[in-house]
Structure formats: structure tokens, C-alpha cells
Amino acid sequence: MSLAIFDLDNTLLSDDSDYLWGQFLVEQGLVDGAFYERENQRFYDAYRAGVLNIYAFLEFMLRPLTEHPLEELLRWRAQFMLEKIEPIILPAAIALLEKHRTKGDTPLIITATNSFITAPIAQRLGVANLLATEVELIDGRYTGRPLGTPCFQQGKVERLREWLRETGHNLVDSWFYTDSRNDLPLLEQVTHPVAVDPDETLARHAAERGWSIISLRETAA
């Protein structure tokens, strides 16, 4: 049984769930709109350029979770799923997940986006195994602090290794699908690295290494 590992944002989804959550908060009037939109874009640009300070980003992104009761956060998250996530689930991504399941492979989503946002997305995609940046929750209230190693760049490799030790899985004949240059450390670890609608840096690297390059975006016939 092989592992089929998937990045989430701009891989299985056609957009970035972290960024869209920020937009959703602005639209709902839950944050200072002009400031939050500006900072959200700044961090997203840094991510795409491969220079994101993950701890500064998490301090920014997790702060709204500390400002509201969990019950309200869950209600907003359900609305977010319907309005922002459902429209960006790629049919070809669903088909690819099913292809691996049919082969007997074990799907695993690994994402830098925090687990508050991504847990229901993984559930919607039918993927039981999720490695995401974890968020501290004490007495039913988020503290705004990440738990353990953020699941980003080399941190994805570290979190995956921990998961492999805990579960008994291994990387023999493994797959990893991603769009991002930030995932080069993990792509180097698997048997079958696959660039999915890759950014410019990853596309160049994949071509040089002879890695597969695919698209899961719908295109006109």
C-alpha cells in the first residue's frame, strides 16, 4: 500500500484556502478590512515568492481565532466552506484521489494552512489523513499560538517523518502532488514527485529533474 500525498491549496483546490479565509473575514466585517486585506495580500505574495516568514504569518492569521467564541467560529467556517471552498474543488482532483484509492493507495493531505480551516476540507474530499499546521486550543478557546512544527517547507518533511513513525507507513513507491516551490524539500523525499499546475520555479525545477508535470484545472475542449 503506497502513500499518495497531496498539497491542498492550488493543487486539489483551484485557489488558496488560507487567503480566501482572510477575504471571508473582511467580507463579514470581522476584521479591519483595509489593514487585513493589505496584510493578507502581502503574506500571500511572500508565500508565492518562497520567502514567507511562517511565524509572522501565523501570528497574523491566527489572531482572529482568539477574538471570537468557538461556536461562532464554527458557524462562520461552515459558511466559508459553502461560499468559498465548494466552488474551488477541482473535479479532476476528486478523480485523481479516487484513482489512488482504487489502486489501494493511502491518500494524505499535507498543508501549511492551519487545521481549523483545513479539517473540514479534508473531510469534504474524503481524506482521513491530514497533516496541517496545528493551533493551540485551551478550554474551548484558541490562543493564537501554533502547536509544534508548522507544516511548511522543511517543516512538512519533519511532520511527515513523525507521522510515518507513528503510523508505520513508509515512502516506498510514494507520490507527492503540489503546485509550489515551497514544497521542494518534500518532493525530494518521494518516489514519484509530481508538479501540479506549478509556479514558475517549481515548473523549471521539475523540467530539469524530469519530474511529471500535470494540470488538474478544467480547460476548454
Residues catalogued as catalytic: 7, 9
CB contact burial 29-49 (16+ within 10 A = b; e otherwise): ebbeeeebbebbeebbeebbe
CA distance linking residue 151 with residue 186, whole number of Å:
11
CA distance linking residue 124 with residue 119, whole number of Å:
9
| Coil, strand or helix at 113 | strand
CA distance linking residue 113 with residue 11, whole number of Å:
13
CA distance linking residue 206 with residue 200, whole number of Å:
10
Q: Characterize the bridge pairing of strands 141-147 and 129-138.
A: antiparallel
